[in-house]
Structure 1
């Protein structure tokens, strides 16, 4: 897995956008704010093509896409109005440290929190900025994004597979991880952070019960359910059986949702691995000794697939894995962490705002990164009540209005598996009477 929050790879040193001033009336974080203009961390061609050059500019709290984001004399053009989104970059030249914070008002019905998935499939990777482009629709567009969960890298089998829980617009993408916390929203849209445990199981004809995970690599002695979100095929190998499943009558079917139960009809039983996936089928893939339980199962019969979790996540629209939990009710939980500084990404909230936070690191001329306990303390002083750590290191990326605003430690965006994004819903235009 790409557990690069613990890795020590060397990174190219890269300049950063300027520091900013704190919002009036808001207690500043315990870091000196130094408004010293420097260059943007993204290539010039990218900044020019996006039309949002944060070069030699001072970015302020309390503004955003629709406010006075930058000083008029900086010559940076933005729209008017109030956006519900604010940004600042805090710097401490002595450590040195550079931290990027985006605050988003939670009560805005036009600002929707959801997750991304690289190229729309589990087994793929792409830069966060590419994932943001894929979020644009006719009535919504991405405005804020941050990289998400740890994942399997290009050098590993099942590259792109997120480590933990993911739900995207209500669709179950990836199983929760038993030892890593997740962020998720409940049926009322309330946010939560903590460990989610799956209790997924298939009940075969005759009553045999097989536990499984969803869209994970099939290992020795395990069972998996694969959805069309995985990719073109199951990517399984070795001995086993794969049951191609279709909808039974008019019962509930795809997409799979957490805490729902489905009845499926067995279309085909295959002994060859790597079964093709289609938009209207699932595959129950069983390896080794577990496959012996399928000897009395035949095409045309039905089975049930249940997707319960603990705690219950029925009605969840958005979830993403990470870890550790950085804050609970404003306090730092007891977690184990190596005494190392790295680039960090974190997501948190209080009663009024979402917080997207990125700490640059591994760049001695700009920012040395943070230890996890330091990040917890920093978030608490920002006013965050609940927070989760996301994948860091070379993956740490914060995107705002079409531009990467932080300084990725490699000097470029790394391919990642998923992310968290704020979409702005567009108000439909009324046709003239």
Structure 2
């Protein structure tokens, strides 16, 4: 009997040690932050939930320093938004991007739309996006368009995207030296362009995520030149060699483009990697043998949006997740749709002015963009301080 009693006591002690700890805070009217600790894995999970019906809450991807070029912490992106008068409730890191060892550090890889403005078409077509109807979607966003002049119609395949790097160890596809299409660059593109083409002066600046613009060829564009800072000027470069029809353009030009899958204006968009959930079903992972890493995910159902992070690469704190683990977590939280965005050392959860996770670098990483959740209303006081993670370990 005594042995049985001690056995039960030991079991309760083990359960207490391995018990999940969950704490939640109301961080805005219509937004809740939850911290989940699962020591038996271990997992450190952070969940930001937003009611979709709250029209005063806006979810937007914010480019680093409002530019195609550059890197920025989630913290400073939130601080910049606060200066415009909006109240930042929370945020997470955003898209995949070229890191600091690449010539084009900070260039996102996915279709990037912020505040209704298209910054780059990217080269990854997978995306999380919200269109003008306010409905969140996960799927592909394929940029497409045409350049028309003197009876010629040339496919337009890229917008502010060119991935070559003289210093990088590898070139990221697609190879824009092949094929027969055009790429459009606006004054937002800050790097030299390694292809020749033409400069075009438009009657009105490019805006939004689709439409039609007219203008005239104003000059030759030589390889390794840059776009001027004039928003009326764009550069068109052709691929497939010097014989590209772009190089022969002259006179009046009409340019039209948009996203194939979404005919209405896109309000915000960022690139995603794997689709994890579709109609409540867990999808087979693209990389079933992928290692565990820190992760950032976006999910939703009919009522809520979810922004979720899981720490990783920290022994004894959180080991990170595989794709299937992410899908199971999103389903457990109540999502019917879900995808993962950039993770690893980029994974950051920002809530009411605090970093509430432990990035694997030991500090927040500067990223190409962030997803910020904001409102124009005053934020209510927290009923108690947020539980912040322990400080960075000191090296012995």
Residue 330 (1) aligns with residue 280 (2): yes
Residue 181 (1) aligns with residue 126 (2): yes
The structure 2 residue matched to 1:321, chosen from 271, 277, 291, is 271
Residue 158 (1) aligns with residue 101 (2): no
**Displacement of 1:113 after TM fit?**
1.0
Q: TM-score, normalised by structure 1?
A: 0.75
Residue 220 (1) aligns with residue 190 (2): no
Q: Find the counterpart in structure 2 of residue 146 from structure 1.
A: 92
Local SS of the residue matching 2:196 = strand
| 8 Å Cα contact 2:185/2:227 also seen in 1 | no
| 8 Å Cα contact 2:189/2:227 also seen in 1 | no
| 8 Å Cα contact 1:242/1:273 also seen in 2 | no
**Displacement of 1:185 after TM fit?**
1.7
Gap runs ≥5 in structure 1:
1-30, 36-58, 66-82, 428-433
Provide, for residues 372-410 of structure 1, a one-character-per-residue CA deviation record: whole Å limited to 9, x for no partner: 101101110110111110111101111111111110011
Mapped partners of 1:292, 1:393: distance in 2: 40
The structure 2 residue matched to 1:370, chosen from 296, 321, 324, is 321
| 8 Å Cα contact 1:202/1:212 also seen in 2 | no
Residue 60 (1) aligns with residue 24 (2): yes
The structure 2 residue matched to 1:117, chosen from 56, 60, 63, is 63
**Displacement of 1:214 after TM fit?**
0.9
The structure 2 residue matched to 1:401, chosen from 352, 357, 360, is 352
The structure 2 residue matched to 1:342, chosen from 278, 293, 304, is 293
Mapped partners of 2:224, 2:252: distance in 1: 22
Alignment length (residue pairs)? 345
Give the number of the structure whose residues are more often strand, by fraction. Answer: 2
Query: Are the structure 2 counterparts of residues 356 and 244 from structure 1 closer, same or farther at C-alpha, using a change threshold of 3 Å?
Result: same
Mapped partners of 2:84, 2:244: distance in 1: 49
| 8 Å Cα contact 2:156/2:257 also seen in 1 | no
**Displacement of 1:137 after TM fit?**
4.4
Query: Are the structure 2 counterparts of residues 152 and 110 from structure 1 closer, same or farther at C-alpha, using a change threshold of 3 Å?
Result: same
The structure 2 residue matched to 1:303, chosen from 242, 245, 253, is 253
| 8 Å Cα contact 1:259/1:312 also seen in 2 | no
| 8 Å Cα contact 1:176/1:182 also seen in 2 | no
Query: Are the structure 2 counterparts of residues 313 and 319 from structure 1 closer, same or farther at C-alpha, using a change threshold of 3 Å?
Result: farther
Q: Find the counterpart in structure 1 of residue 81 from structure 2.
A: 135
Local SS of the residue matching 1:212 = strand
Q: Find the counterpart in structure 1 of residue 5 from structure 2.
A: none
Residue 244 (1) aligns with residue 199 (2): yes
Q: Find the counterpart in structure 2 of residue 209 from structure 1.
A: 154
RMSD between aligned residues: 2.1
Report 1:5-44 matches (<5 A): 32-34=19-21
Gap runs ≥5 in structure 2:
1-17, 164-175, 379-396
Local SS of the residue matching 1:378 = helix
